[in-house]
Amino acid sequence: MAQGSSIEWTEATWNPVTGCTKISPGCKHCYAERMAKRLQAMGQERYRNAFRVTLQEDLVDLPLRWKKPRIIFVNSMSDLFEENVPDEFIIRCFSTMQAATQHTFQVLTKRPERVVDLAGQLPWSPNIWMGTSVENQDYVWRSKQLAKVPAAIRFLSVEPLLGPIPRLPLTHIDWVIVGGESGPGARPMKVEWVLQIRDRCQRYEVPFFFKQWGGVQKKRTGRKLDGRTWDDMPISNERRHGQTQEQRSLAGVV
C-alpha cells in the first residue's frame, strides 16, 4: 500500500509486493519482517501471509492516481527483484513508474544482478532511481553490478553498516546513504566506518546522506555526524558525469 513515510530520505512508500527472503547479513534483524508479523497479528489482510512474498495486484497502478508529486520508496516492505517476483510483474511496476511522471521513484534491492539481467526489458525513465544495499566489504560487488544499470540516478544504501568499507566503489554512483542498525538486537556501528565513507564521498563529489546512528533507541542516538546532519540529495548528476575517467576509476577501486 502507499502511505507517508518517516524514512528520512523519502516522502512516501508504495508496496506492490510485501514479504521477502533473507540473503545477506544485513537482513538478520529486518524491520520489515517484524512489522509484517505485527500487522498479521492485527488482522491486516495484506499481511495475511506475514513475510512470505505476496503480490499486491490491486496496488500496481496506485501511483497513477496519486496526483501530488512525491519522492516514493518502492517496496519498503519487500524487494521488487526478489526471486519469487515474476519478471512480468516487475515490468508492470516499472511501466507504472514510467507513466507516473509527477513522482520520483526510489527502487532499492539486494539483488542488483537480477536488475542487470532484466535491464533491457525495463523502461528507464528519468524519474526512476535504482539503488542497492552494501552492508560490509563482502558486498561491494553489488555496487559494481548497479553501475551497469542504465538508471538516471544510481544510489547505495549502506545500512545497516556492519563493518569498515575503506574503498567503497563509487564508479557511476550518484548518491550514498549510510545508517546504523536499529531495533532489537541492533549491531553497533563505529564512527570511523562512517567517516571513511563520508570522506570518500566528499573526495569524489558524491552526495552523502547520514540517516541515523541506530541502536535500540535510535531517537536517543540521533543523526548528527561531526556536529551536524548530512542530508545531501542527488538533485542533478551532471557534475558526476563530467568527471574524468581517471577520477571514476579511482573511485571504483576496491
**71: three-class secondary structure by DSSP:** strand
Question: What is the number of other CB atoms lying within 10 angstroms of the CB of residue 15?
Answer: 22
Per-residue pLDDT at 3: 63
Per-residue pLDDT at 236: 45
What is the rounded average pLDDT for all residues in the chain? 92
Summarised one tens digit per residue, pLDDT across range 76-134 is 999 999 999 999 999 999 999 999 999 999 999 999 999 999 999 999 999 999 999 99
Summarised one tens digit per residue, pLDDT across range 12-35 is 999 999 999 999 999 999 999 999
Higher-scoring residue by pLDDT: 5, 1: 5
Q: pTM higher than 0.85, yes or no? A: yes
Element (H, E) at 132: strand 128-133
Q: Are 172 and 242 in contact (CB under 8 A)?
A: no
Q: Where are the domains of the chain?
A: 2-251
Q: What is the largest CA-CA distance in the chain?
A: 56
Residues above pLDDT 70, as percent of the chain: 91
Summarised one tens digit per residue, pLDDT across range 200-248 is 999 999 999 999 999 888 888 999 999 999 999 997 443 334 444 444 4
- Residue 160: asked if its preceding bond is cis (omega within 30°), the reply is yes
According to DSSP, the β-strands at 208-212 and 12-14 are unpaired
DSSP code for 110: S
Beta bridge partners of 128: 105
d(C-alpha 46, C-alpha 13), whole Å = 15
d(C-alpha 16, C-alpha 8), whole Å = 21
* Cα–Cα distance list, 76 to 18, 122, 133, 141, 205 (Å): 8, 20, 13, 23, 28
